[in-house]
A and B are shown apart, each in its own frame.
Chain A
Amino acid sequence: MLIEILEKNGSKIIRHDENIIIALVSNKKLKKVAKELFDAGCYYATGVGVDERPKNGAFAMYHILNCEDEKRYVIIKTFAEELKIPSITPVICGANWAEREAMDMIGIEFEGHPEPERLIMPDDWPNGVYPLRKEFHYNQKVPAIEVKPKKRKKDPKIMEVPVGPFHPTLHEPESFELYIEGEKIVGASYRGFHVHRGLEKLAEERLTLNQVPFLAERICGICGFTHNCAYCQAVEDAAKIEVPERAEYIRTILLEVERLHSHLLWFGVACHLLGFDSGFMHTWRIREAFMDIAELLTGNRKTYGMNLVGGVRRDIDENKKKKLLEILDKTKKETKEILDNVAEMKELINRMEGVGVLPKKEAREIGVVGPVARASGIDTDIRRDHPYAAYGELDFKVPVYKEGDVLARFLVRYEETFESFWIVEQALDQMPQGEILNEDYELPEFAYGLGYTEAPRGEDVHFVITEGGNKLYRWRPRAPTYNNLPAVPIMLMGEKLADAPIIIASIDPCFSCTDHVAIIEKGRVCRCSLEEYLRLKR
C-alpha cells in the first residue's frame, strides 16, 4: 500500500525493507504524497533537515512518518530547489514544528507554511546564520542583533497568567501563557525552546561514534536510556550490525526498569499537583528501589551508560539477577497496594475525570505518541508494532482507553507499570547466555539509520546519517514531548485554571528533552486548518 503510493507518484525507492521505506520524492509531488500517506494511516513522526551540500550539492528534507497499519516507517526525502521546498503542514499539521525547525537551523524555506515564524532561534539571533549548516562550527559565537519587544493588544476582560518561563512545579524551563476569564481558560499559547544545548552539532562535529551514546543519554534526565538505546539502534540499523541476543535482553530489562521508575515518578508528581503530598512520598519511596536496581546493574542511579554501538557494557550475573527478582517481587506488591489505595481516593479521581480531554481526531492529526495517544483511543505502541531489542519475544498487553482525559492517561500508565514488571520478569527468565558486545563492525559511508524506542512518554525517534570512519554526518533525536506538547493547548481550552497544572503534567512533559535541538524562545502552538486551532491564537 505505502510502496504503491510512492511508486505511483514516481518516487525513487532508496531503501525498502521490513521496517523502513526510504524514498526520494520530487518537489512537485511532495504534498500529494504526504496527503496520500496521511490518509493511508500514517502520522508524522519527525522531520529532519540536512545540509547535504558536500555530498549532493543541495539541502535535503526528510519527513519521517510512521504507518500503524503496515507497521512501517516511511521516510520521504526531498531536495530543496533554490532553498525552497513546498510545506506539508497544510496537509499534516504535525509537520509544523519540524519544518520550522529546519527553517531555523538549516535555512530551508517552506512554501505555503501557515506560520513561517522562528521556532527555535531566539529573536536576537542574526538573520541568515544557520547553525546546522556544515560551515558553522560548534564553538562559533555570533553577535546578537537588537530587537524591540512586540506590543500586544490587551483585552481588559481577559487576564494573562504566565506559567513559566520556569515551571513552578515541574521545575523545567517552559512557558505557557494562559488567558483566563474568571477561572476559565479561554486561550493558551506555548513558548518553549529556552534551553538549547546544541547536541546535534556537537555530535556531528566533535564526538565520535561511541561517545555519542553518552551525550544521547543526557538528552533527558528521566528517560535518558531510551535515547541512548534509540541512538545505538539507529547506528546499528545503518551499519547492519548484529547485536548479541543477550545484549538485547539486557537492554530490554533496563528499558523497563527505566519505565517503571519514570511512571512511578509521574504518579508522584500527579499526586503532588493534586495536593496529595503523601501519595508523592509513597510512590517515590517505592521508586527508590528501582533507582537501587539501576545502581546495582549499571553502577549509577540514573545515567546508566550501558549502551555502546553493538551491545552493552555490563552483564547481569546470577547474583544480580537474584537480587533483582527479590526487589521486583517486593515492589510489585507494594506498588499495587499503594496505587490501588490512591485510586480509591475520590477527590483525586474527581479532579482527573473528564478533565483535559484530547479527542482522537485531533490526537491523530497532531501525531501524539505514547500514553497520551493510548489514552485517546489510538492503539499504538512501538514495542509491539516495531519490535526492537527483545520485545518481539516477550508477551505484554498494550492498554488503550478511549476517554482521552487525564484519568485515562493515569490508567494507561497504571496498567503499563504492571506490564513492565511482567516484561522484566520474563526477560530475566528467558535471557540467553552469550556475548554482550559486538565490536566487529565497520561504519559505511552515508548510510541511513533509524532507531526507535517506546520511551515512558512515547515514541523516541533517532535518525542517523553516517559519515564513515567513526563519525556521524547527521544525528537527529526527537523526544516524545516534541509531538505531545502541541496537543496541550487543546486539552487546556475551556478548563478551569486550577486544573491547568495537572493537564500540562498529564502528558508527562519533558521540556528540556524537547529543547535539546533548539535554542531559546518563541513558538506558538500548531495552527492548521482546524477551527479549534485557529481559536487558540487570540
Chain B
Amino acid sequence: MNFLVVINILFALIFAPLFDGFERKVKARLQNRQGPSIFQTWWDLIKLFKRPPVIPSDSIKRLYILAPYITFTAVLTAYLIVPTLLPQSLNFAGDFILVIYLISLATLIFSLGAFSSGNPYAQLGSNREVSLLMSEELVLAFVVGILALIGRSLSFEILFPLPLKVSSILGLALLFVVIYVSSARIPFDIPEAEPEIIEGPLIEYSGKHLALLEYSIYLKRFLLYSLFLNFILPKETTIRTGGFLLGLIVLSIVYSSLEAYYGRFRLDQAIKLMKKLSAVALVAWLIALMGW
C-alpha cells in the first residue's frame, strides 16, 4: 500500500514539470510559435538546482532560506493524500480539509519568505498573493461545503468519485475555476505579474531556492489537476489510469489555452470577480443542501 503511494509521488515529481513543458508548447502553438521542447522546464530546473543561491543582505535570512523548503514539503505532503496515477493513498476522516490546509500553507509560507527578502517588489507581490488567496478561499470553502454535502463526508475515500447530480456538476465547475485561480495563471497571475512587479515574490530568489519554489508551483498545479480528476474518474484501476492521463492532457490544454487568451486583471478587478463567484457558490451550496 505505502509502496504504491511512493509511486504516486514519484510520478508527480517527474511529470509535473513535463506537463508545464507541454503547456508551454500548447501556448506557443496558439501564438504561432515553434515553442521550446517539452523537456525545457526540466532543463531549466536542473540548471537552477546547479546554481548557487544568492541571499539578499536585507533579508531575514532564516525565514528566507526556510520558506522554499517548507513550501515544497507542504505540497509534497499533500500527495500522500491525493492519489495521482494509482488510486491508492492515505485516507482518514477529514483529509479534504488537510489538503486545503497544506496548499494554503504552501502559499502563505511562500509569501512570507518573499516578504522577508526586503525587496519592495517582493513585498508588493506577497501582499497581492495573500489578498488573492483570501478572496479565493471563500469560494473554495463553499466548494468544500458543496462536495461534503453531496458525499456526506470530508474523506476522499467516500467522496471519490462524485455521483452525477446537478449540485456536483456545479461544485466541480466552481472547483475548476478555483483551481485556475490558485494555480496563478493569467488573468490571475497578479502576484507574479512580470511587466508590473517583475515576478513579484520570486524576484530575489535564486539558484536552488528558486528551483524549489518553481518546482512546488508545478507540483501544486499538478496536485490540483489530480484532485479535480479524482472527483470524476471511477475507481476501477484500468479505466481510471487511462482516464487520468487523458484528463491531465485535456486539463492542460484547456487551462493553457485560457491562459494564452486572457489579459491580466488588476487586483481589485480579480477580487470583485471572486466576490461574484462566491455568490454563485452560495447558490450552488443551497442547491446541494436541497439534495439535487
Q: A and B bound? A: yes
**Interface-located stretch among B27-35, B136-144, B212-220, B227-235:** B27-35
- Return chain B residues, CB-CB under 8 Å to A347: 187, 262-265, 269
Which residues of chain A in 324-351 are interfacial with respect to chain B, using CB atoms and an 8 Å cutoff? 345, 347-348, 350-351
Which residue of the partner chain, among A272, A277, A281, A496, contacts B266 with CB atoms under 8 Å? Answer: A496
Does B260 have its Cβ within 8 Å of any Cβ on chain A?
Answer: yes
A276 to B32, CA, bound (A): 14
Contact bitstring A366-398, B, C-beta under 8 A = 1, else 0: 000000000000000000000000000000000
> Are B267 and A351 interface neighbours, CB within 8 A?
no
- Minimum C-beta distance from A163 to chain B (A): 9
A497 to B261, CA, bound (A): 23
- Return chain A residues, CB-CB under 8 Å to B261: 276, 278
- Minimum C-beta distance from B88 to chain A (A): 40
Which residues of chain A in 464-506 are interfacial with respect to chain B, using CB atoms and an 8 Å cutoff? 496-501
Does B198 have its Cβ within 8 Å of any Cβ on chain A?
Answer: yes
A28 to B33, CA, bound (A): 64
Contact bitstring A276-295, B, C-beta under 8 A = 1, else 0: 11110110010000000000
> Are A501 and B124 interface neighbours, CB within 8 A?
no
> Are A273 and B120 interface neighbours, CB within 8 A?
no
List the B residue with the shortest CB-CB distance to A271.
B263
Does B193 have its Cβ within 8 Å of any Cβ on chain A?
Answer: yes
Does A425 have its Cβ within 8 Å of any Cβ on chain B?
Answer: no
- Return chain A residues, CB-CB under 8 Å to B260: 277-278
Does B189 have its Cβ within 8 Å of any Cβ on chain A?
Answer: yes
Q: Secondary structure of the A side of the interface?
A: helix
> Are B30 and A168 interface neighbours, CB within 8 A?
no
Does A430 have its Cβ within 8 Å of any Cβ on chain B?
Answer: no
Q: Size band of the A side of the interface?
A: 20 to 34
- Return chain A residues, CB-CB under 8 Å to B33: 281
Contact bitstring B1-33, A, C-beta under 8 A = 1, else 0: 000000000000000000000000001001111
Does B147 have its Cβ within 8 Å of any Cβ on chain A?
Answer: no
- Minimum C-beta distance from A84 to chain B (A): 43
> Are A496 and B268 interface neighbours, CB within 8 A?
yes
Which residue of the partner chain, among B30, B127, B195, B267, contacts A169 with CB atoms under 8 Å? Answer: B195
- Minimum C-beta distance from B118 to chain A (A): 12
Does B190 have its Cβ within 8 Å of any Cβ on chain A?
Answer: yes
Does A14 have its Cβ within 8 Å of any Cβ on chain B?
Answer: no
> Are A276 and B193 interface neighbours, CB within 8 A?
no
Select the residue from A160, A271, A281, A498 with max chain B CB neighbours within 10 A. A498
Given known pairs A281-B33, A347-B187, A500-B196, the reply for A274 and B121 (CB within 8 Å) is: no
> Are A276 and B198 interface neighbours, CB within 8 A?
no
Which residues of chain B in 230-285 are interfacial with respect to chain A, using CB atoms and an 8 Å cutoff? 260-269
- Return chain A residues, CB-CB under 8 Å to B27: 278
A168 to B203, CA, bound (A): 12
A350 to B32, CA, bound (A): 26
> Are B196 and A276 interface neighbours, CB within 8 A?
no
> Are A274 and B31 interface neighbours, CB within 8 A?
no
A233 to B84, CA, bound (A): 70
Which residue of the partner chain, among B32, B120, B193, B267, contacts A275 with CB atoms under 8 Å? Answer: B193
- Return chain A residues, CB-CB under 8 Å to B30: 278
> Are B267 and A183 interface neighbours, CB within 8 A?
yes
Q: Size band of the B side of the interface?
A: 20 to 34
List the A residue with the shortest CB-CB distance to B28.
A281
- Return chain A residues, CB-CB under 8 Å to B197: 497
Does A5 have its Cβ within 8 Å of any Cβ on chain B?
Answer: no
A328 to B83, CA, bound (A): 56
Which residue of the partner chain, among A277, A282, A345, A350, contacts B269 with CB atoms under 8 Å? Answer: A350
Does A144 have its Cβ within 8 Å of any Cβ on chain B?
Answer: no
- Return chain A residues, CB-CB under 8 Å to B194: 168-169
> Are B195 and A351 interface neighbours, CB within 8 A?
no
Which residue of the partner chain, among B124, B190, B263, B267, contacts A276 with CB atoms under 8 Å? Answer: B263
> Are A498 and B120 interface neighbours, CB within 8 A?
no
- Return chain B residues, CB-CB under 8 Å to A161: 120-121, 124
Does B76 have its Cβ within 8 Å of any Cβ on chain A?
Answer: no
Does B146 have its Cβ within 8 Å of any Cβ on chain A?
Answer: no
> Are A277 and B31 interface neighbours, CB within 8 A?
yes
> Are B263 and A168 interface neighbours, CB within 8 A?
no
- Return chain B residues, CB-CB under 8 Å to A168: 194-195, 198
Does B202 have its Cβ within 8 Å of any Cβ on chain A?
Answer: no
> Are B31 and A281 interface neighbours, CB within 8 A?
yes
A183 to B190, CA, bound (A): 12
A276 to B262, CA, bound (A): 6
List the B residue with the shortest CB-CB distance to A348.
B263
- Minimum C-beta distance from B108 to chain A (A): 20
Given known pairs A161-B121, A275-B189, A278-B30, the reply for A499 and B266 (CB within 8 Å) is: yes
> Are B263 and A160 interface neighbours, CB within 8 A?
no
- Minimum C-beta distance from A266 to chain B (A): 14
> Are A274 and B32 interface neighbours, CB within 8 A?
no
Does B186 have its Cβ within 8 Å of any Cβ on chain A?
Answer: yes
Does A91 have its Cβ within 8 Å of any Cβ on chain B?
Answer: no
- Return chain A residues, CB-CB under 8 Å to B123: 159
- Return chain B residues, CB-CB under 8 Å to A350: 269
- Return chain B residues, CB-CB under 8 Å to A348: 263
A273 to B262, CA, bound (A): 12
A70 to B251, CA, bound (A): 63
Contact bitstring A153-193, B, C-beta under 8 A = 1, else 0: 00000011110000011000000000000010000000000
- Minimum C-beta distance from B200 to chain A (A): 11
A271 to B198, CA, bound (A): 16
> Are A501 and B195 interface neighbours, CB within 8 A?
yes
- Minimum C-beta distance from B255 to chain A (A): 15
Given known pairs A351-B263, A496-B266, A496-B268, the reply for A275 and B31 (CB within 8 Å) is: no
> Are A273 and B187 interface neighbours, CB within 8 A?
no
A281 to B261, CA, bound (A): 11
A162 to B121, CA, bound (A): 9
Select the residue from B187, B195, B198, B268 with max chain A CB neighbours within 10 A. B195
- Minimum C-beta distance from B145 to chain A (A): 29
- Minimum C-beta distance from A180 to chain B (A): 8
> Are A275 and B187 interface neighbours, CB within 8 A?
yes
Given known pairs A275-B189, A285-B32, A347-B269, the reply for A497 and B263 (CB within 8 Å) is: no
Given known pairs A277-B260, A351-B263, the reply for A497 and B196 (CB within 8 Å) is: yes
A319 to B228, CA, bound (A): 60
Which residues of chain B in 13-64 are interfacial with respect to chain A, using CB atoms and an 8 Å cutoff? 27, 30-33
- Return chain A residues, CB-CB under 8 Å to B198: 168
Contact bitstring B179-215, A, C-beta under 8 A = 1, else 0: 0000000110110011111100000000000000000
A183 to B27, CA, bound (A): 31
- Return chain A residues, CB-CB under 8 Å to B263: 271, 274-276, 279, 345, 347-348, 351
29 A-B residue pairs with CB within 8 Å: A159-B120, A161-B121, A169-B194, A183-B127, A183-B267, A273-B196, A275-B189, A275-B195, A275-B264, A276-B186, A276-B261, A276-B263, A276-B264, A278-B27, A278-B31, A278-B261, A279-B263, A281-B33, A282-B32, A345-B262, A347-B263, A347-B264, A348-B263, A496-B268, A498-B190, A498-B266, A498-B267, A499-B266, A500-B196
Other than the given A275-B189, A275-B193, A277-B31, 18 more pairs (CB < 8 A) read A159-B120, A168-B195, A168-B198, A183-B127, A272-B195, A274-B263, A275-B195, A276-B261, A277-B260, A278-B27, A281-B33, A347-B265, A351-B264, A351-B266, A496-B267, A497-B197, A498-B267, A500-B196
Q: Which B residues form the contact surface with A (CB < 8 A)?
A: 27, 30-33, 120-121, 123-124, 127, 186-187, 189-190, 193-198, 260-269
The 10 closest A-B pairs by CB, nearest first: A275-B264, A281-B31, A276-B263, A169-B195, A348-B263, A274-B263, A273-B195, A347-B263, A498-B266, A275-B186
